[in-house]
Every structure is written in C-alpha cells, then in structure tokens.
Structure 1
Amino acid sequence: MSRASLLLLGLSLSSTALAAPKDPVKFAVTLEQMRGHYDASLLNYRGGDLAMAAKHAKHPANELYAAVRSDLTPALQQKFVADYARINATLAAKKPYAEYLKVMNTFYADVDAALATLGATRSDPKFAAQVIAQILENAEHEYEEGVQGGKVTNLAEYQDAIYYIARAQLWFDKNAKTFPQHQREETSQALKAAAAVVTRKGDVTALEKAVDQAKEELSEISGVRQAPKSSAGTYFANIDRLLAAAKGHYAGGMASDAEEALIEAYLENFEYLESPLAKKDKALETKLEKTLREDLRALLKTKPSAQKFSAAVDAALADLNKARALLGE
C-alpha cells in the first residue's frame, strides 16, 4: 500500500473514531446512569451488602451499554467491556473495598474519555441543561418506583434516585457558572429541594414539584421546552413500534439494531408503565419486565431463526395487550 493510501486510510479511521454520538444528550445521560448504578454498588459493597451491590452492578453492562455501544469508538468499546469484566470479577471474588473502588475508578475515567468525544458540545450550557433535566426526570421515575407512603418499597430504585440526583448536582456544579444568574439560583434551590424530599422519603408529588421547577429553569437555559409527560397509551404505542422494528431489524440481519430497539422499549417506555401495572396485576408486570428487560435480549444472543424471534416478540405483544386493557388503553 502506498504512503498516500496509508494516510487516507488513517484519516478515514480517525474520522470514524471521532464521529459524534447521534444523540449527545441521551449518550451523556446514559453514561451518568451507569455511574449512578456503580455509585450505588460501591455504597452497598462498602456496607457489606454484596447482593445489592451486585444488583446495581448488573445494569450498566447488561442494559445500558448496548444503548451507547454504537456511539463509542472501537477503543472505548474494548475498554468498557474490559472494565465490566474486571468489576464483575472483583465483586464475585469479594475483594477488599479498596480494590473494588480502584476498578470502578478505572471505568469512571473511561466514561470521562467517552464524554470527551463530545468535544465542544460538552461545555455548551444548553447541552448541560438538557442533560441535567433528563437525569432529574429519571431520578423522579426511580423514586416513584422505590418509595410509597414514606417507606422504601424497592431499595434498589430508591438508591438509584439518590445517586441520579447526585449526578445531576455534579453536572450543575460543573456548569453553573455558565448559566444566567436567575436560572442558576432557581435551579440550585430546586435541586436542594429534590434532594431533601428523597432524603426524608417524602411524597412523590413533592419531588415532582421540585423536579418540574428545575426543569422549567433549565428549559430557559437550553431553549428546549418541557415536553408534556407521556400517557400510558403513548408508551404502549412506542413499545409496539419498537418491538416491530426489532423484528424487522433481526430479520434483516441487524441484531445490534434489534437489541437497541428492545432496550429503548424497556428503558424509555415500559419502565414508566411498571408502577401503574403492578397495582393492577403484579404477576403480569413482573413477567413483562423480565421479558422486555432480559428474555428477548437473551434470545437474541442465541442467534435464533427470524421466525423464532418473531414468535417470542409476538408473545410479548400479546401480554402487552393484556396490560393495555388493564390500564384502560
């Protein structure tokens, strides 16, 4: 190969490696969700609750990685996978907390390297405001799942809410000086109010009020108005569309795209249906959660025939129709 050809190849590879994520806000928020889960895992590991530490440690590799994988450079993909393996091995071996923290910090450094691929976008106050707003929205959802009537009903979800708010606060602290003074002060107060509600295990409506206040101020910064909260019917429609897309992608030989559609169906849609559905039929909610969160993706990894995968998706859709009827949609 000529020197000129080598140079062109190098430039091509470099441009591919430096390609920006297709959705920078979602990319950053997903990475912060990973950190939130691992922060919670560290807390439990240090306290001796290895089962809860392991529960939190499952989510970054098993669910969230697929949502950012295509936006990571090949080198970062390799690092993330290696980090997950080291974290899980350290956890399984019940190594001292200092060793668990060490492997976790290596992953956090790789997350920072991934965020660095955003370039100038990362320091844009409008971008930061959108990231903070989305992290807070996720925290509100986790809290709703984890606390009822002033009592923790799901410890993992409650801890997720704690650490998501902490991640939002860190993003705010890092970017506050770039925000207009009024919005900076109002957002700061709303963040403090949100953290206080979570600490005292207050009513979810109080958290919603604080988060909505923060999101309103943040929308003034970003210029992106708050979208109205989706209805159950919208979530069901999204899931139908995404599961149909998953079938189409898999039939077309695009298993990775099929997996991304499955993850979006669960993380960005079904999760918001879990609480109301559980109140109507806990067994159905549990079954659908396992199907959408684990079983369909596990089936993908076995490389089934398109017909077998399609049949499994259709079975999930039948259960979703039962859920839709229960929720009056």
Structure 2
Amino acid sequence: MSVAFAYDQEKVDLASGLEEAMGHLWALELNLNEGDYDLANTHALHPVTELYASMKPALAAADLAADVAIANALNSLADRTGSDAPLAQALEAVEETRSIIDYARNATIGPVSDEANFKLIQMGMLLETSIVEYGVAVSGGQIVEQAEFQDGLAFVVRSGQILDTIDAADIGHSTASSMKESLAAVQGAYDQKADPSKVESLTNRIIDDINGVLVLEYSPEKVDLAGSLEKTMGHLWALELNLNEGNYALANTHALHPVTDLYASMKPALAAADLTADAAVES
C-alpha cells in the first residue's frame, strides 16, 4: 500500500503473511465442511509452503516462542486436517492454528496491530492479492483454477473480517458502509464468476476507500511536519548537551536552527491544523 511507510515495513509484511494464512484457514475450513479433502490439503499446505519462509526472520527476531509456535502449527496442519482425521478434530486443529496466529501477531507486532490504519493497510494488501488470484482463476465465466479462486475469495472474506473489527467512527461511518457494500458486491461477482476486469474494478473501489482514509491520515504535509518536529527535538538534545558542557556558542547554534531552518516550512501545516499549537511552537 502506498502509505505503509507510516509503519515499520517489516511489521507490515509480517502481518500481511499472517493475514494471508488466516485466509487460507478460512478456505481450509470451507473445504473440510464440504468434504473436499484435496482442496483442503492445498490450503493446509499453502501457509507453510508459500508464507512461512518469508515470515520466519521477522518472527524469530521479534519472539522466538511465537516463531516456534507458528512453525509447529503450520507444519502439522496438513496431517491434522487430512482425510483420515475426524472432522471435529480437523476443525479443532484449524481453530487452534487461528489462535496461534493471533498469539503470534500480538507477540511480534504488538499494539500497532490493533490500530485502524494498520488494519486498513492489511485489508488493502489482501485485496490487491485477491485481484491477482481471481485473474488467473476465472476465464470465460468458468473457474479454471479452483485453488486460486478460493484464495482470492478467502482474502476478500478475510478483509471483511478485519473491517468488522474496526470501529466505524475511526474511519468514518460513510466510508465503512461503502466498504461493506463494495465487499458484498465483490463476493457477488465471485458467485457469478464475473469477468476478472469487473472483479478488479469492484475490488479497487474498496482499495480507493482505504487509500482515501490513509492519505488523509498520512498526507505528505503531515509526514513532513512530523519530520521537522523530530529534527527540532534533535536540536534540543544537542542544545542541552552543549549547555551542560558550557559550550554556549554551539548551544546558540542549535537554539537558532529550529526557527531559522525549520519553522518557516512547518508554519503552514501547523497553522492549518491548530493555530494555538502554531503560536506555541513559534514562541
């Protein structure tokens, strides 16, 4: 997503892998309930064969116990959900794996994973992947790649599940409503085996809504303002250092830099956002 820079990219990518794994679990459960063990096996294997290797470095660096738990859960999932496993036990294995993914997300990504904007970024990444999956899965109104079709649908469904955890007030009630309507339209298009161009268009409506929220939150003006404020904090650190060392010439240099080098570029954004804050910073 275009504004993922607002968060640590490693955490964004790790969360994306975990959310794709959750999507595969949805598809795995669907196929288990329908008795399609071949497709169930495909979705049981995808998280460990396609996702885990890229997640492992970030998982291991953040929390070794979470990495081990995820590795064990994903490596055993196909065996625990095979055709020789009673359905109830197979479904229990799916639910246990969901819980382990939730645990790993909390342990490695932390509170940021609960932020509305972080969740929106994950939705956008899932939806972008879903477009690709559907594009290779459907041709001429027919499913030509069943696993990829289910991948695409699973990522759409998972996006909806994430949206359900976001307080509509955090993104705007009208935007939340628009996203839900568009998600329903996308799922309807899947049911109709619509042309990939239609599914892409419908899915992009949701992505546009997501980008609209994120761009408002992380506009270039806000990013630049935050950068300048952080530079100011750096000068204050250097000012304090030189005061303590009795170097008043260097202290004066760092005292002046924020107002001579930074304030003019910050003033428009400060004044537009909060006149009181602008006056306080200037004084």
Q: How does the TM-score come out when normalised to structure 1?
A: 0.59
* Residue aligning to 2:12: 25
1:176, distance to aligned residue in structure 2 (A): 4.2
Change (3 A) 1:27 1:90: same
1:26: how far off? Answer: 1.9
Deviations 1:172-231 (A, max 9, x none): 111142211232222222212111111211111111111111111101111289xxxxxx
1:89 aligned to 2:89? no
Deviates more, 1:125-134 or 1:113-122: 113-122
Cα deviation for residue 85 of structure 1 reads 3.5
Q: 1:224 to 1:195 in 2, by over 3 A?
A: farther
Cα distance change on mapping 1:179 and 1:95 into 2, 3 Å: same
Deviation track 1:220-254 (CA, whole Å, cap 9, x = no partner) reads 111289xxxxxxxxxxxxxxxxxxxxxxxxxxxxx
The one-letter amino acid paired with 1:196 is G
> Amino acid of the residue matched to residue 22 of structure 2?
R
Q: How does 1:170-319 map to 2 (within 5 A)?
A: 170-177=161-168, 178-223=170-215
1:201 and 1:176 mapped to 2: Cα distance? Answer: 32
- CA pair 60-21 structure 1, distance change in 2 beyond 3 A: farther
Distance 1:161 1:180, change over 3 A: same
Return 5+ residue gaps in structure 1 as ranges: 1-19, 226-329
The equivalent residue for 2:146 is 155
The 1-side partners of 2:45 and 2:177 are apart by 37
Q: Does 1:52 align with 2:39?
A: yes
Displacement of 1:138:
0.9
Q: Comparing 120-129 with 202-211, which one deviates more in the overlay?
A: 120-129
Conserved? CA contact 1:140–1:161, under 8 Å: yes
Query: What SS does the aligned partner of 2:81 have?
Result: helix
RMSD of equivalent CA atoms: 2.0
* Structure having greater relative contact order (Cα 8 Å, sep ≥ 6): 2
Residue number in structure 2 paired with 1:142: 133
> 1:142, CA displacement in angstroms?
0.8
- How far the C-alpha of 1:91 sits from its partner, in A, is 3.2
- Work out the CA distance in 2 between the residues paired with 1:85 and 1:214: 34
1:275 counterpart residue number: none
Q: Is the 8 A contact 1:116 1:122 kept in 2?
A: yes
Shift of 1:52: 1.6
Q: Is the CA contact (8 Å cut-off) linking 1:162 and 1:198 kept in structure 2?
A: yes
Q: Deviations over 1:16-53 (max 9, x none)?
A: xxxx9752222222111112122212222232221221
Give the equivalent residue in structure 1 for 2:24: 37
Task: Report the TM-score when normalising by structure 2.
Answer: 0.68
Q: Aligned residue for 1:78?
A: 68
- Any residues of structure 2 matched to 1:118-137 within 5 Å, and which? 118-137=109-128
One-letter amino acid of the structure 2 residue matched with residue 156 of structure 1:
A
Partner SS, residue 223 of structure 1? helix
> Displacement of 1:78 after TM fit?
1.3
Gaps of 5+ in 2: 1-6, 218-283
Q: 1:98 aligns with which of 81, 88, 91?
A: 88
1:114 counterpart (72, 83, 104): 104
CA distance in 1, matches of 2:216, 2:200: 19
Is the 1:69–1:77 contact (alpha carbons within 8 Å) kept by the matching residues of 2?
A: yes
Q: Matches of 1:193 and 1:176 in 2, distance apart? A: 21
Contact 1:190/1:213 (CA < 8 Å) preserved in 2?
A: yes
Q: Distance in 2 between matches of 1:153 and 1:93?
A: 24
* Larger radius of gyration between Structure 1 and Structure 2: 2
Q: Is the 8 A contact 2:25 2:94 kept in 1?
A: yes
- The 1-side partners of 2:191 and 2:83 are apart by 32
Letter in 2 for 1:55: T
